[in-house]
Chains A and B, each alone.
Chain A
Amino acid sequence: MLLVAPSLAMVAVFVLFPLGFAVYISLTNWPLIGPYHFIGGQNYSALAGDPEFIHSVLFTLLYTAIVTGPIFAGGYGMAVLVRSNRFGSTFFRTAFFLPFIIGLATESFMALLELQPDSGAADYLLGKVGLAHATTAWTVNYGLALTAICVIVTWFAAGLTMMLLMAGMQGIPIELYEAADSDGATWWQKETRITLPLLRRNIALSLIISVIGSFLAFNQFYILTEGGPGTSTQPVVMWIYEEAFVQYHLGYATAGAIALVIVIAIITAAQLYLLRDDTSAARR
């Protein structure tokens, strides 16, 4: 007990206290400045009937549903390409992971320039193959903006998934593949019967990180669309930001943040349950 006391103290000070304080703020009408009052669960009941909040939650779910698959598939594919120590693997690992290192905010600003009508590379290149014209305004059209952001985020996040899966793949004993080879297994059979089952924990981790990241999406939308047109591309974190630091309804915004924490906790728990490794428990 004594040995874990410092860790517990850190958790209490930096996690439990702020969380408890945030819960308290969410039960008040906390403004930017001035008096505030305890209002019980009014903020939470208001959330349930707030069409803008509900829209932002639904949009976040849609966005998460769209990007999770491509991020995983892209990351898995890249991990397959670079998992062995062949010539050039290090170069490609670096190249694939680089977007994650550069950062989403920087890439969003780069994209903002390249998505400009008339002057951006996107219209120019897509125009060459007949998929766009020179004045396509990506960032002010709901469908186009969402498409562009999903592509950028997939490019950004797939590298992290690649690293997580590649580490798992490299940890699988080579003897298993040699045995499969001697039994005449195909590449596909080895991938689906050996690699995927033994990667369950890595897959769970990468999916959880990916989904949480999507739920907390902010930078790319703030920079590229500001939630527009209207509030059509406003994810829930941007709703919280706008409500807190533009509308100055800090109590109400904190209620939204607490609700988001609960939703993320539930989804993460569900993912952990669905991707649990029963075999490892049996081994113990």
Chain B
Amino acid sequence: MKLLSRPILTGAAALALLAAAGCSSGGSAPAAPAPTSSTFGVNATGTVQFWARTVSKTLAQKLVSEFNATHKNLQVKLTLTSINDDTTSLATSIRAGDPPDVVGLNDIDMPAFTSTGSFLNLTSQIDALPYKSDLSPGHVGLGTYQGKLYGVPYWADLSVLWYNKTLFKQAGLNPNDPPTTYAQILSDAQAINKLGHGIYGATFAGDCQGCLGFTVQPGIWAGGSHLTNGDIGSQTANITGNQSLVSALTLYRELWSQHLVPDNDRTDDGTTWGQDFAAGKIGIMPGGYGQLVDLAKPSQLGTEFMDTPLPGADGGYSTFDGGDDFAIPAAAKNPSGAWEFIQWVLQTQQQDQYPALGATPVRTDVLTPAFSAAHPEDAVALKALANGYAPVTMVYDQMFNQAGGPWFQMFTTAVYDGNMTLALQQGQSGLARLLQQATS
């Protein structure tokens, strides 16, 4: 038995290695093709496989249901993917040659795919859209690689500044005059904090790297600067001497050191983010539009809770242009049907439904007086979208979404430890290292 088993096992291992080598023979990425047919996206038939992240579940289900009800010859089949492994699922399906026909991908993950020729080049189709200039600029930027367009906005998840009108009133502040500078955020938070009885001036998810990137960066952008400069492949860190960044970190340092936020903000990893605000105990909360729509009662929106654009240190405003892009994998079996579905979603009739489904439209031209009257809170987010931005980089997750990443290390050192000089050094060296790795 002993003499027999060894060669058999060795042979099996060798077979495994050979098979592995065989599996890997297709290891080069094809150039991204571009559809050329004039009938592309017109009267398509068959089935469209649509993968959307669970975070857009309500929206995706509603859109697919309505599309299928009105398109008898073209049916969309929805598959929801986990927000934690949607990119690996997509990559695996592409490697296996069996990707979905259209995917709703977190826009910050687009560069990892556009740079490898994984998606159809939709430049001519997007250029032909009459509302192209009204599409969310951050989404379009993240779907662009070397001047070509591989993605089109699907839905927007935008950061805004929520404030509690009731607490503003109780603190002697004007509930119709929300803060438009960092100084006003601080002074308003101080005034509300004085109410006591478990009421705090502000709140933030202090152990949630992604939440902080989503809400702190827009103030920096409103001040006219970004944390990285240049295009993919030649990007550099812009931390040292970045006064907008220093102002933002100083604001959060003051909120923390003056105890204007709850102590457990320090350990809030995002799982309970906003619950204290929705409970009426917080004056000001930088957060997402959809976040509070999910947490608060509809009757509270506009009456008790209202939003305003996230301001910069001395005015101006911006927003993190988050959410998802549509993209069509290069090996999609029904790309024409996928493009027809995408065009249908981008029509104003569908876009107008977004606010009720907890999402912000991706076309700024739907911001009409009627839209503002019907959805005043989402209108604020949509107004900010015109100034929206999202960093275009191959290493966003590594820089901004990790506990050990340079963004959070810098934030921790500046805000909780109060050492701004060291924080900026950590941020500069950390971002520079990751950008260097991304280009090497």
Residue interface bits A1-33, CB-to-B below 8 A is 1, else 0:
100000010011000111111011100100111
A24 touches B267 (CB 8 A): no
A242 touches B402 (CB 8 A): yes
Contacts A37-B27, A117-B264; A246 near B20 (Cβ below 8 A): no
A16 touches B13 (CB 8 A): yes
Residue of A19, A34, A139 near B29 (CB, 8 A) is A34
Cβ of B37 under 8 Å from chain A: no
Cβ of B368 under 8 Å from chain A: no
Q: Tally of A-B residue pairs with Cβ under 8 A? A: 124
Rounded to whole angstroms, the CA-CA distance of A139 and B2 in the bound complex is 52
Tell me the B397-432 residues at the A interface (CB within 8 Å).
Answer: 397-398, 401-404, 408-409, 412
B27 touches A118 (CB 8 A): no
Closest B residue to A18 by beta carbon equals B16
Rounded to whole angstroms, the CA-CA distance of A112 and B208 in the bound complex is 14
Tell me the B322-381 residues at the A interface (CB within 8 Å).
Answer: none
B90 → chain A closest CB, angstroms: 8
Binds A, one of B112-120, B129-137, B227-235, B243-251: B112-120
B24 touches A32 (CB 8 A): no
A229 touches B412 (CB 8 A): yes
B98 → chain A closest CB, angstroms: 14
B266 touches A117 (CB 8 A): yes
Rounded to whole angstroms, the CA-CA distance of A24 and B15 in the bound complex is 12
Number of interface residues of A (CB under 8 A): 47
A245: B residues at CB distance < 8 A: 85, 87-88
Contacts A24-B17, A245-B88, A246-B398; A231 near B29 (Cβ below 8 A): no
Tell me the A168-186 residues at the B interface (CB within 8 Å).
Answer: none
B402 touches A19 (CB 8 A): no
Cβ of B21 under 8 Å from chain A: yes
B32 → chain A closest CB, angstroms: 11
Rounded to whole angstroms, the CA-CA distance of A137 and B94 in the bound complex is 43
Rounded to whole angstroms, the CA-CA distance of A166 and B361 in the bound complex is 62
Residue of A35, A226, A247 near B403 (CB, 8 A) is A226
Closest B residue to A145 by beta carbon equals B267
Cβ of B262 under 8 Å from chain A: yes
A171 → chain B closest CB, angstroms: 29
Tell me the A230-250 residues at the B interface (CB within 8 Å).
Answer: 230-231, 234, 242, 245-248
Contacts A8-B8, A118-B262; A28 near B267 (Cβ below 8 A): no
Contacts A33-B29, A119-B264; A24 near B20 (Cβ below 8 A): yes
Name the prevailing secondary structure of the B interface residues: helix
B264: A residues at CB distance < 8 A: 116-119, 135, 137
Cβ of A74 under 8 Å from chain B: no
A37: B residues at CB distance < 8 A: 27
B116 touches A140 (CB 8 A): no
Contacts A24-B17, A228-B404; A117 near B88 (Cβ below 8 A): no
Contacts A116-B264, A118-B264, A139-B267; A33 near B404 (Cβ below 8 A): no
Residue interface bits A93-121, CB-to-B below 8 A is 1, else 0:
00000000000000000001001111100
B15 touches A12 (CB 8 A): yes
Cβ of A63 under 8 Å from chain B: no
Cβ of B55 under 8 Å from chain A: no
Rounded to whole angstroms, the CA-CA distance of A11 and B8 in the bound complex is 12
Cβ of B77 under 8 Å from chain A: no
Q: List 8 A-B contacts (CB under 8 A).
A: A12-B15, A17-B20, A20-B20, A112-B271, A118-B264, A140-B266, A231-B404, A246-B401
